[in-house]
Chains A and B, each alone.
Chain A
Amino acid sequence: MTSIPPFGGFGLGLRKTHYADFLESHVEVDFVEVISENYMIDGGKALRVLEDVRARHPVIIHGVSMSIGSAQGLDADYLDRLKQLEHRIDPLWVSDHLCWTRTSAHNSHDLLPLPLSHEALDVVCDNIDRAQSHLGRPMLFENPSSYVTFPEDELTEWAFLSEMTRRTGCYLLLDVNNIYVSAQNHGFSADDYLTGLPLDRVRQIHLAGHTPRGERGDFIIDTHDRAVCDDVWDLYGQARAMIAQPVATMIERDDKIPPLPELLAELDQARSLASSAMAGLSA
């Protein structure tokens, strides 16, 4: 399996609301990320737009439905479709989430949590081996946000991710907001999380907003519907200072999507924080 060289830069998720911005002007981003499933189609406008954007920017394809934690294994049709998209777009890399979404009968279309057990680790590693072998390239997997822990848990999430990368050769997409959300929801230390990860395997960082505790019960919810909060910016700065290699950082917004300049301003904040953190690293 080949390796994924580090790529440093700042990007945004490509959403339909901003198609015209990306097609009609030069947007100051180093890459864009798209949701794979939106483009795993046979033809039509969405694919044409993606190809046009690809001609201007490097593209990352980021999935939500691979269901890498499914005990029943992966969906062959899904893998074929993803490979077709990968051939068409030639992305920087292909990523998905450490989660599961489907059984043989149903699909939740939500990122469901895995028990952090050795049994689940075996399933995940087998599935990652199959996916990477099918695609012929290593993938990135994102740490999830979660609202449930299981009595069966045997590992911390960071130990699970570490062992997963060691056994499969996959890389990490570090979602800093997800670390914050899960740490708050389950009472673990974000510092321990970052310290426990193999940070040399991180190739990308996600930043996003969340719904604070109290708006939807006693949980922080990973909604991607508002700006990144100060605590998550702080955690980003901390994470960035701990990662020696270049990484691709992006802002995710999936609901209540603002005009593009607002997201670009957030991206400037990420640039500034990363620059300070990197200065600290080299000092």
Chain B
Amino acid sequence: MTSSQTLLHAQQAFMAQVLDDDQPVPDNWSERQAAGMDVYRQNYRSAVIDAVTSTYEQTRQWVGEDRFQRAAIHHVIAHPPSGWTIDDAGAGFAETCQQLFADDPAVAELAWLEWAMLGASRAAEATPLSMEDFGQATAQFGDEDWASMTIEFLPGVAARPLQYDLHAMWQALGTGLQQRPETTLQETRGCIVWREVERPTFMMVDADMVLALQSALAAMPYGEICLQLAGDNPDEQTLHDAAMRAGAMLGQWLQESLIVSLKV
């Protein structure tokens, strides 16, 4: 074994002891050294739980301090961080919430929203396409150009379907949860998250828009998005309606300054 391999193994063992209170310290350590290890264990635990807490302030408020702390501890034990940024300690917390708050599935959607807003807050700068830019870019488009067009969105834009009314939850949280709102939506809707200048924001949209946006984010050509909206075996009228609907969505994305460029 080379010398750096010896250090490598020692560091892997030390890390295992920091992450897991039940991992024994080396046999040749004194009681004081073992007590020193406890300081590192506490420091680690409090740093990563503080990071999770700071990312999920609204989720914490929604579920209450005790339940949130238990969930955060569970999360960091099950998913110890691996990346160099401590913000990533909160990655996957929405899935943890889905498991732990099965009695209140809205929690997982709220946690997803906060994670998406964190992503939007630190995403790269980009200049959105204005209506005028869009008009110029598409002025010479033929049918094939429209069909093959893909859309580049602002960095950090995220979308997902929703079963719960995040807008009502967010508003209630903004007033200190004086009154808990009805959260269950009558039908599936969707949520779009982005950064407006410096401030992460979100809006609730119809389910078909979120599906279309997810497809567009995955670089699906505009023509295929129209076909997706039309569903299986569409007749001519349905195709026409789908194209109109896609056009309205495109207009709304432009209006909200979500689009950066078009590619054909």
- Chain A: residues with CB nearer than 8 A to chain B? 37, 40-46, 48, 65, 67, 70-72, 75, 77-78, 100-103, 105-110, 112, 115, 117-120, 122-123, 146-152, 185, 216-219, 221
Contacts and interface: CB of A to CB of B under 8 A. Distances in A.
Nearest to B125: A43
B7 A119 contact: yes
Contact of A71 (B7, B80, B198): B7
A41 B87 CA distance: 11
Contacts, number: 128
A78 B80 CA distance: 19
B122 A41 contact: yes
Given A110-B43, A148-B33, A43 B123 contact: yes
B141 interface: no
A106 B89 CA distance: 11
B121 interface: yes
Contacts of B203: none
A149 B7 contact: no
B47 A109 contact: yes
Interface string B59-79: 000000000000000000000
Contacts of B35: 147, 217-219
Given A106-B19, A110-B43, A217 B38 contact: yes
B44 A110 contact: yes
A78 to B, nearest CB: 5
B195 interface: yes
A-B pairs with the 10 shortest C-beta distances? A42-B124, A147-B36, A148-B36, A71-B8, A41-B122, A71-B7, A119-B3, A45-B198, A43-B125, A147-B39
A109 B15 contact: no
Interface residues of B, number: 47
Nearest to A102: B84
B28 interface: yes
B81 interface: yes
Given A71-B7, A122-B3, A107 B38 contact: no
A148 B37 contact: yes
Contacts of B19: 106, 108
B5 interface: yes
Nearest to A77: B84
Nearest to B51: A109
A43 B11 contact: no
B115 to A, nearest CB: 15
